[in-house]
Structure formats: C-alpha cells, structure tokens
Amino acid sequence: MRAAELADRVRAAYPDVVVARDEVTVIVDRSDLLEALTGLRDEPALGLDFLSSVTATDWPGRSPRFWVAYELYSMTHGYRLRLKVGLEEGDPRIPSVTPLHPTADWHERETYDFYGIVFDGHPALTRILLPDDWEGYPLRKTEDLGGVNTRYRGAFIPPVDKRTT
C-alpha cells in the first residue's frame, strides 16, 4: 500500500508519523518546519514539491491549541503527505513557508485572518477575506457565529449557534 510505504520512507527522518485512512501525517515542531519542508522536497524518492493548502484548526482547551496543516503533493511520484505543527495558545507564531512555496502567500493570509496565527517572514500579512478593520478572528471556536435573529411569522428565531432546541 502506498501510504504505508511512504510512511516508512519518511519515518527515518521524521519519527512522528501517523497513517490513517490511506493518508500519511507527519508532525513536526515549529522550529523544524522549514527544514522538514526542504527535506521533503529535495529528497529524490519523495519529491514533495507542490503545496496544496495551508490551514489551521482550533482546539480550545487543549494543548497545543492550534494545529496548522500543510498538504503536500509530489508532482513526480504522486504521493500526498500532510505536515502538522502544533501551536500553543499564548504563542500563535509560526515561520512562513513563502520562501519555499510562494503559493502559501494567500493561504497564510487567510489563516491569519481567520485564526490570528502570525506567520513570521510573510511578505505582507494582512487580512484577505474580511474587511481590513474587522476585529476578532471569527473561525476560532471561542467566537460566535454572528448573524441576527430572523423574524418569521411573528417569532424571532436566533442564529444556529444560539438555538436551544
């Protein structure tokens, strides 16, 4: 199976590997991120040179709170790999990977916009999808969904996250 084979090749350099549902996930520390990405790209047997997506997930109450996930693909071999980095709540900073993968530019801006994770070394880290003067980071689990009550046939129905039924 390709996922297991890929996991074995990767495990030598990066021991924290999880294989699930035919996918390989490698977990590294924030300080090893750029080195890991360079290594995964330059290793001829792996050749993971295409970054599909950069995103984050918020797990409030857990440590680390934010998990940033990088989806890599190899154009030559056709492998997929996910690289994850955990960030603590009080310190949501991570080096930007734009020097290696310029495509991460807008992905990182979106992650900053939604979660407030600061990417050090990003050329222009500003809000991208929300208005420039928006306050707050809406996709964090601690933020509300927003929206107003809907008036329908005399009743006021709150937005989804406020409904008690």
Which one of residues 41, 43, 82, 95 is an interface residue with other proteins (CB under 8 A)? 82
Name the 3-class secondary structure at 4.
helix
Q: Which residues does residue 20 pair with via DSSP β-bridges, in sequence order?
A: 23
Which one of residues 14, 27, 30, 55 is an interface residue with other proteins (CB under 8 A)? 55
Which of 5-13, 18-26, 36-44, 86-94 is the region at the interface with other proteins (rule: CB under 8 A)? 18-26
- Please tell me the count of residues contacting other proteins according to CB under 8 A: 44
Backbone angles phi, psi at 162, to 5 degrees: -105, -5
Residues 130-149, mask of contacts with other proteins (x by CB under 8 A): xx--x---xx----xxxxx-
Which of 3-11, 26-34, 68-76, 85-93 is the region at the interface with other proteins (rule: CB under 8 A)? 68-76
What b/e readout covers 107-141, taking b as 16+ CB neighbours within 10 angstroms? bbbbbbbbbbbbbeebeebeebeeeeeeeebbbee
